[in-house]
Structure 1
């Protein structure tokens, strides 16, 4: 059966003209004549049976159908180009893993360890793109994603397979200077931690996470501490932002230990209480519901091995 796919040259001419809203600029980008661009777009419009552009005094504008079509094919053409470059660079061996990942996990946990995956699998190149929202595989050209969410969110993520990685447990942390400011005689119980009393904990200013409004209330309830204002304090979206604010003595934040190992080692942050809140969120590796590829399987195996060999901080 003949497939309903127009010529690639026609799509490239349309994409360039839609990007610049100009046949002239499209011809310069593609190194062909303006008349060739116009002819290719006419043939594409005949194939589709509709108009993609309307002419104006200053060039061309996309029709509503043209806008929709441009939005749809742009990432697909980019994917074809990237796949072509990947197979050329790898000479048919190995390949590329295009991975979506939540920002703080990417910068604080994954990237510092990724060199070990590269050493074990030099035939695989990993490309990372970050987002705080669920990755839609039908809209983004991703092979897989690492996402922090609830089991309910994972269950309602259509067309995917998931691999559980770990729970997102959080502990209260702040700068040692903040503790000394409020409690100059407080003593550390080990190299990384204090064990502040309930009365001391409720005196420290709080730092809130924008997307998890009730997290401090959950922690205080777990500890059976009646905090008068558990929702007060500066709000920041990402764990990395909370870590910076805490480092600059702005307050106490709830952050997963695995994301602040370097701050703990350098004594930029300390654990204010060893009581951790087992979060309802967990980290998952997610990919489409199609059969898992050898490249994704290698990455899943590697990341699970890294978690098994995780830092001693996770054992605190």
Structure 2
């Protein structure tokens, strides 16, 4: 249910308040909004009367927001930004339906994007919008239809579709691997690159190889792509997922620093809130990915 009209000021008055807060004066706000100073003052007066709270106060010949006015201006700015983003999405999509996905950047670029290319061919009336999110969030507060999640089924209030299992391999620049892949013991003496969201990843990898490793240090990154770039520049050895490693191996920027991949317990999932049935575009994507997974499993090797 929409709020009563008395709590829904005009866009013009909200734009005036936001501009005065951001620019510091009604004169500057009037110039940005292509209005007269008196027109901005009228908009603000109408807004104060509608809200019933003093939002501005006189300071010399100028205006300053009261604490209540400043708080309200921040909320107004968020609402205006949400409205602008919604307008951009519908303008970009035109008559097509939108599907808003929160993705892990490297997986989204190297694994999901090719899938979405095929999906868009089969469903040309759906536009997929991608935004980066590195950790779980509240679907009730974020305007996403679905998200990519890595790990276990530990995201509350969602349904899951498994997309891919995880395998990792150490990778480094050709210059660091002049004599080919290394043993686990040799890798211990080389600079190792680390990912913030995978603490203990190297320790787990060395343990799987039967090598003791403790308190490993090295450069820290927040995304796989940045870590792969640093590895290509020769900063050290990166422990990369298969979808990214294979891409870098094909380009020749990185070479395997160890002969084999190591399977991990983590999985990549498509997740979506289970409180409501999936929208038509999301249901189409779920069905498409399920079909693609089935074909991958039954394909001859």
Q: For this structure pair, what is the TM-score category when the shorter chain's length is used for normalisation?
A: 0.7 to 0.9
Alignment-derived partner of residue 22 in structure 1: 25
- Distance in 2 (alpha carbons) for counterparts of 1:307 and 1:32: 57
- Distance in 2 (alpha carbons) for counterparts of 1:234 and 1:2: 51
Aligned length: 295
- The 5 A counterparts of 1:74-85 are 74-84=77-87
Kept in 1: contact 2:171–2:238 (CA 8 A):
yes
Q: Does 1:289 align with 2:292?
A: no
Q: TM-score by structure 1 length? A: 0.75
Kept in 1: contact 2:171–2:240 (CA 8 A):
yes
Alignment-derived partner of residue 269 in structure 1: 254
- Distance in 2 (alpha carbons) for counterparts of 1:44 and 1:288: 40
Displacement of 1:254 in angstroms is 1.3
Q: Deviations over 1:140-181 (max 9, x none)?
A: 4444333435533x13xxx6555443344322222343222x
CA RMSD of aligned residues (A): 3.5
- The 5 A counterparts of 1:1-316 are 3-4=3-4, 5-9=7-11, 10-57=13-60, 59-84=62-87, 86-87=89-90, 93-111=95-113, 113-137=115-139, 139-152=141-154, 154-155=155-156, 161-180=159-178, 184=179, 186=180, 194=181, 196-227=182-213, 229=214, 231-271=216-256, 272-280=258-266, 282-287=268-273, 289-305=275-291
Q: Deviations over 1:117-147 (max 9, x none)?
A: 3333332333332243444445544443334
Q: 1:44 to 1:290 in 2, by over 3 A?
A: farther
- Distance in 1 (alpha carbons) for counterparts of 2:8 and 2:43: 10
Displacement of 1:278 in angstroms is 0.7
Kept in 1: contact 2:184–2:206 (CA 8 A):
no
Which ranges of structure 2 fall in alignment gaps of 5 or more residues?
Answer: none
- Distance in 1 (alpha carbons) for counterparts of 2:62 and 2:285: 48
Structure 1 runs (4+) deviating above 6 angstroms are: none
Kept in 2: contact 1:144–1:285 (CA 8 A):
yes
Which ranges of structure 1 fall in alignment gaps of 5 or more residues?
Answer: 187-193, 311-315
Q: 1:139 to 1:58 in 2, by over 3 A?
A: farther
Displacement of 1:259 in angstroms is 2.0
- Distance in 2 (alpha carbons) for counterparts of 1:115 and 1:97: 14
Displacement of 1:215 in angstroms is 1.1
Kept in 1: contact 2:196–2:222 (CA 8 A):
yes
